[in-house]
C-alpha cells in the first residue's frame, strides 16, 4: 500500500486523517493570523502614545528582580572598568553651538509616572553649549553668595567626589578639546582662563564646587551604606530652581523624594529605583529627562515659589495667571553612572531653560505640550503648580497650535520627525 493510500485510509474518531490534518493546518493558520493582528494593533497604539522610555524602566526586564545584589551592601570592590575615551564633539563651538532642544513631553490622554531611564552613550555624558558663560557666572556668584548651603562633600564621599573631578578632567579635554586642556596636575579652561590643580591635598576648594564650575550641570553624589540605601553625601546644587541642597543633604533617596511629595513615588518609583541603584554597573550609564513650567525668569532659583531662604517653599505663594511672557519651560537632562573606583553613583542635572513663547514656535511643540499638561493627574498637577498657569498657558498653546495647523502642519509626520525626548 502506498503512503498516499495509507493516508486516505487512516481515520481518527470516524474522521479521515486527511480532513484532520487539513483542520489542524487551518486552525494553526488562523491562530497565527490572530496573534499577528494583535501584535500589530499593540505596536500601533504604542506608537501613537509615543512611549519611548521602555526597557530600563522595568529592572526585571533586564535584570534579575531579587532585591539583594551579589555583593555586600555598602562595600565596593574597585572595578577594572575604564570609560572609553570620548571623541571630540563634531562641529562643536562654544560661540555657536546652541542648547539641545529637549522637549520630553508626550501626548495624553493619560500621563504615566515612570522612571523614564534610557541608556547613555559615553561620548554624551556632559553637554556644553553657547550658554556656558551665563551658567558659569551664575554658579560662581551662587558659590560666593550662598556658600555651603549649595555645595558640600561629606568625608565619607570625599574619595568619590575626587574621582568625579578626575573623571571630568579626563573627559572634558577629550570631548571639548577647543575649550579644555588636560595638564599634568588637572585641567585648564581656556575660555575662562581658570587653571585647576586637583593633585593638592587637601584640595584648596571643595571638589564638588570645582567640578560644578567646569560644566553647566548641577551635581550630586549618592553613596551606598551597609543598609543598602543610597545617601546624598556630596553635591553642588547651584541652578536647581525648585529645591535646596541644604534641605536634602544626608538624606536617603526615598526621603529625598517623599519629602518633596514626588507624585506616586511610593507606588510607582521607589522599588524600581532601589533595585536600579543597587544594581547599577560602572559600564551602564543612563539618562532621563523631565520638564516643568516656571513663572519667572530666574534659572538659579524660581522666586515665585518663595524666597530661597524662607523655611518652606511652595507653589501656593506663586501669583496666578501671569502674562505668557513670564512663562518659562524648564527641562532637566539627568545622567546617572557609577564610578568604578569608589563605587559612588554620580547624578548630573543639566537644566535647559527657555521662554515658552520661544519653544511654542517649533512645529508640533505647542500642541503636544498642551496635550501633555492636560494629561497630568491631580497629583502631578499639584506638584507642578498647574493651577497657577494653566489658564493662560493652555489658551496660548492652543492658539499657537491652531496657527501651525492652519499654516499646513502635517500632524501625520510628527512621529517620523520628532522622537522622544525631542
Interaction of residue 232 with ligand HEM, rule CB under 6 A: yes
Shorter beta-carbon distance to ligand HEM: residue 203 or 236: 236
Q: Residue 208 CB, nearest distance to ligand HEM (Å)?
A: 12
Q: Tell me the C-alpha distance between 331 and 210, whole Å.
A: 24
Question: Closest-CB residue for ligand HEM?
Answer: 260
* DSSP secondary structure, 6-74, as one string: HHHH-EETTEEHHHHHHHHHHHHHHHHHHHHHHHHHHHHHHHHHT----GGG-HHHHS---SS-SSPTT
Query: Containing H/E element for 201?
Result: none
* DSSP secondary structure, 113-131, as one string: -----EE--GGGSS---TT
Interaction of residue 372 with ligand HEM, rule CB under 6 A: no
The answer to whether 241 and 302 have CB atoms below 8 angstroms apart is: yes
Question: For ligand HEM, how many residues bind (rule: CB under 6 A)?
Answer: 18
Segment near ligand HEM (CB under 6 A), from 138-146, 169-177, 253-261, 387-395? 253-261
The answer to whether 56 and 286 have CB atoms below 8 angstroms apart is: yes
* x-marked contacts with ligand HEM along 102-131 as a string, rule CB under 6 A: -------------x----------------
Range 267-296, binding ligand HEM (CB under 6 A)? 269, 273, 276, 288, 290
* x-marked contacts with ligand HEM along 327-346 as a string, rule CB under 6 A: ---------x----------
Segment near ligand HEM (CB under 6 A), from 3-11, 16-24, 242-250, 389-397? 242-250
Segment near ligand HEM (CB under 6 A), from 10-18, 91-99, 256-264, 414-422? 256-264
Interaction of residue 243 with ligand HEM, rule CB under 6 A: yes
Q: Residue 55 CB, nearest distance to ligand HEM (Å)?
A: 14
Q: Give CA separation, 178 vs 83, 88, 92, in Å.
A: 21, 9, 9
Segment near ligand HEM (CB under 6 A), from 252-260, 296-304, 369-377, 392-400? 252-260
Q: Residue 248 CB, nearest distance to ligand HEM (Å)?
A: 5
Interaction of residue 220 with ligand HEM, rule CB under 6 A: yes
Interaction of residue 92 with ligand HEM, rule CB under 6 A: no
The answer to whether 187 and 180 have CB atoms below 8 angstroms apart is: yes
Q: What angle do CA 93, 95, 96 make, to 5 degrees?
A: 70
Segment near ligand HEM (CB under 6 A), from 74-82, 97-105, 201-209, 257-265? 257-265
The answer to whether 1 and 7 have CB atoms below 8 angstroms apart is: no
Shorter beta-carbon distance to ligand HEM: residue 108 or 260: 260
* Tally of CA atoms within 13 A in the half-sphere of 263 that contains its CB: 14
Q: Tell me the C-alpha distance between 413 and 199, whole Å.
A: 53
Q: Tell me the C-alpha distance between 240 and 251, whole Å.
A: 17
Q: Give CA separation, 365 vs 105, 140, 329, 372, in Å.
A: 9, 33, 12, 10
Interaction of residue 248 with ligand HEM, rule CB under 6 A: yes
Interaction of residue 376 with ligand HEM, rule CB under 6 A: no
Q: Tell me the C-alpha distance between 327 and 317, whole Å.
A: 16
Of 164, 210, 211, 262, the residue at the interface with ligand HEM (CB under 6 A) is 262
Shorter beta-carbon distance to ligand HEM: residue 210 or 262: 262
Shorter beta-carbon distance to ligand HEM: residue 84 or 250: 250
Q: Helices 207-214 and 132-146 sit at what angle, rounded to 10 degrees?
A: 160
Q: Which residues sit at the interface with ligand HEM, rule CB under 6 A?
A: 115, 220, 222, 232, 242-243, 248, 256-257, 260, 262, 269, 273, 276, 288, 290, 336, 347
Amino acid at each position: 500500500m502506498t503512503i498516499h493510500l495509507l493516508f486516505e485510509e487512516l481515520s481518527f474518531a470516524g474522521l479521515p486523517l486527511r480532513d484532520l490534518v487539513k483542520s489542524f493546518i487551518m486552525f494553526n493558520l488562523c491562530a497565527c493570523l490572530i496573534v499577528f493582528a494583535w501584535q500589530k494593533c499593540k505596536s500601533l497604539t504604542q506608537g501613537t502614545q509615543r512611549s519611548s522610555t521602555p526597557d530600563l524602566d522595568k529592572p526585571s526586564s533586564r535584570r534579575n528582580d531579587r532585591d539583594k545584589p551579589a555583593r555586600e551592601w555598602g562595600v565596593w570592590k574597585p572595578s577594572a572598568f575604564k570609560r572609553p575615551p570620548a571623541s571630540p564633539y563634531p562641529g562643536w563651538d562654544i560661540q555657536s553651538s546652541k542648547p539641545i532642544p529637549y522637549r520630553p513631553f508626550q501626548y495624553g490622554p493619560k500621563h504615566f509616572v515612570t522612571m523614564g531611564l534610557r541608556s547613555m552613550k559615553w561620548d554624551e555624558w556632559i553637554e556644553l553649549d553657547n550658554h556656558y558663560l551665563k551658567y558659569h557666572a551664575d554658579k560662581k556668584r551662587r558659590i560666593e553668595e550662598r556658600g555651603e548651603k549649595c555645595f558640600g562633600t561629606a568625608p565619607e564621599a570625599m574619595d568619590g567626589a575626587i574621582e568625579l573631578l578626575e573623571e571630568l578632567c579626563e573627559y572634558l579635554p577629550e570631548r571639548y578639546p577647543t575649550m579644555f586642556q588636560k595638564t599634568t596636575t588637572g585641567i585648564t579652561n581656556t575660555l575662562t582662563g581658570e587653571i585647576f590643580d586637583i593633585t593638592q591635598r587637601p584640595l584648596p576648594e571643595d571638589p564638588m564646587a570645582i567640578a560644578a564650575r567646569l560644566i553647566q550641570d548641577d551635581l550630586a553624589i549618592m553613596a551606598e551604606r551597609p543598609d543598602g540605601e543610597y545617601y546624598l553625601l556630596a553635591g553642588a546644587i547651584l541652578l536647581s530652581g525648585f529645591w535646596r541642597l541644604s534641605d536634602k543633604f544626608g538624606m536617603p533617596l526615598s526621603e529625598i523624594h517623599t519629602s518633596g511629595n514626588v507624585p506616586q513615588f511610593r507606588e510607582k518609583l521607589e522599588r524600581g529605583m532601589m533595585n536600579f541603584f543597587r544594581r547599577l554597573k560602572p559600564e551602564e550609564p543612563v539618562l532621563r529627562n523631565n520638564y516643568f513650567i516656571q513663572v519667572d525668569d530666574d534659572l538659579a532659583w524660581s522666586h515665585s515659589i518663595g524666597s530661597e531662604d524662607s523655611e518652606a517653599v511652595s507653589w501656593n505663594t506663586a501669583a496666578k495667571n501671569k502674562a505668557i511672557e513670564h512663562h518659562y519651560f524648564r527641562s532637566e537632562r539627568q545622567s546617572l553612572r557609577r564610578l568604578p573606583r569608589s563605587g559612588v553613583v554620580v547624578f548630573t542635572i543639566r537644566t535647559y531653560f527657555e521662554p515658552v513663547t520661544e519653544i511654542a514656535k517649533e512645529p508640533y511643540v505647542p500642541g503636544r505640550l498642551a496635550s501633555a499638561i492636560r494629561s497630568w493627574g491631580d497629583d502631578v498637577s499639584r506638584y507642578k503648580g498647574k493651577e497657577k498657569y494653566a489658564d493662560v498657558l493652555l489658551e496660548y498653546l492652543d492658539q499657537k497650535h491652531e496657527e501651525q495647523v492652519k499654516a499646513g502642519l502635517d500632524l501625520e509626520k510628527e512621529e517620523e520627525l520628532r522622537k522622544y525626548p525631542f
